[in-house]
Chain A
């Protein structure tokens, strides 16, 4: 497709001048005409000309003021302006450059000079546009990663609006398993192609480090975020110092098995962690310096637990530093408030909501900085529907089998991280399981041998559940007498022990005579 000719706006109150300029330029360009300042500003805003020829001396709003206003608006500030002046004195020219003009043409015109200057500035603009195009292309293709697929129980939404200058925002995702992935969100100091290329280089360093380190360690366990960031920093510090730039970033890991969020923050914007249970936002901030600072201290990693329904918001400073007409920032507080009010809507709708709120605030859709935002929502439904593990044990009603029940419990819980289930609590779960099984044999089956007992075990990221089934007489916990602690009785402690060793106990009986005692152990937020 042939590209349309460049659009040049002529702003002058004198019809003769307008005619002269039109005749000079009409063969090579599309032309717009404005006879006063306000019309010129409207036209520029609406049609985005490639270049403006601006008369200084006009009634009402003069050329300086028009230029100042054009340069103050994010949308029009990069349009090149050439002043037209009858006044050849140096003072006027200086003032023109001060308010942002690129060049000037003195009246009376020489057609060849007008043509030459317009052509020069349009090719300079084209070169600048080309740079922005390349930078934004780099950004779209190299800097912004795709969210991982098939991670159970999470939803990810992301948004990037490149500014007219491209300033090196980047993010990416690294998937380790179906239950574990990393996210890195960063911002390179600087703009245009250099910033975009550096961001791309940094991302490829992360990939390389992840690859090399995982090959050299020979384990299934991914390296800790702090080790990864530290290694990338070692690789990149010389280049960053040479380029006199730095990078803020947050490298974070979502471990869906442990429900643990571990992050290394290097001077980036504070990550918002919305807690669904308390309906409050907590701002997560690290203590590390940005990459590119000669860091002496090792990178410090921080870990927080999350729960189903929680939401994490990562973003760049371009988002919180969007300005309204009066120059006020959108700000962290407004973002936090917005997230808190709307945290329960679908992530992709929430991110659209955030975007609309920024537009409403700034009354503009173009920004000085890239606006980047990534949401990670921990699903409520998925994490309940899909359990991560299950197992079953079948025994006969014999008290000598109690040891097997405990071995089954211990083996099933073996994969749970000690930070979620320690030895003491595991001992208590074994105790509860022993009590439940002994109760079934003694009371439900009245110590008759050879009766079946089935134990089902299920594990979710945040909970373990054991169900004990029998087909005996069943039992009503309400009918059991309360325990006596004075040493006068040898029994009656079982129910008391069960109730105090697990987070929840549910006794039920089906119509067909199948009894169930269900023990629930919370791995997060339990006792």
Chain B
């Protein structure tokens, strides 16, 4: 699982460079992501390169979100492709996590 980190002010932006998050690598993602964002409070997960996520991938995102929330932080998601957005709609992801089209919008949402 390839993840890239970028700091914008107080916000940590994690970009997923792997194109797929499915049952085959959802655990890798969870572990990798958790280690990267350890200690961070304001986190944006950038998904623009991801063209496929399944329910396990979704589950790992929700798990990460819950984890961060429990430590007093927040996770926002940005840049989902059409397939990923359709899946998020199916599992009502927007009810739980804030989802933005662009990284800038997601970062701005933390600053205001």
Contact = CB atoms under 8 A, between A and B. Distances in A.
Contacts of B63: 490
A469 B82 CA distance: 30
B40 interface: no
A427 B50 CA distance: 13
B92 interface: yes
Among B20, B90, B92, B95, the one with the most A-chain Cβ atoms within 10 Å of its Cβ is B90
B82 A493 contact: no
Nearest to B60: A490
A403 interface: yes
A487 B96 contact: yes
B66 interface: yes
The number of chain B residues touching the other chain, given as a range, is 20 to 34
A438 B23 contact: yes
A395 to B, nearest CB: 12
A482 to B, nearest CB: 13
Contact of A491 (B59, B87, B90, B96): B59
Contacts of A483: 91
A438 B91 contact: no
Interface stretch (A158-166, A198-206, A267-275, A428-436): A428-436
Contact of A493 (B20, B55, B66, B96): B55
B41 interface: no
B56 interface: yes
A438 B56 contact: yes
Nearest to B89: A500
Interface in B72-93: 82-83, 86-87, 90-92
A489 B63 CA distance: 8
A402 interface: yes
B95 A402 contact: no
Nearest to B96: A487
Describe A's contact surface by its main secondary structure.
Answer: helix
Nearest to B94: A485
A483 B63 CA distance: 15
A428 B62 CA distance: 20
Among A428, A488, A490, the one with the most B-chain Cβ atoms within 10 Å of its Cβ is A490
A496 B20 contact: no
B95 A487 contact: yes
B101 interface: no
A309 B95 CA distance: 45
Contacts of B56: 438, 491
Contacts of B24: 399-403
B45 interface: no
Contact of A435 (B20, B54, B60, B65): B54
A442 B22 CA distance: 13
Given A487-B97, A490-B60, A496 B91 contact: yes
Closest 9 CB pairs of A and B: A490-B59, A487-B96, A427-B83, A485-B92, A493-B55, A438-B23, A399-B24, A434-B54, A490-B63
Interface of A: 399-403, 406, 423-424, 427-428, 430-431, 434-435, 438, 441-442, 483, 485-491, 493-494, 496-497, 500-501
Given A403-B20, A442-B23, 5 more contacts: A402-B23, A403-B24, A424-B82, A490-B59, A491-B55
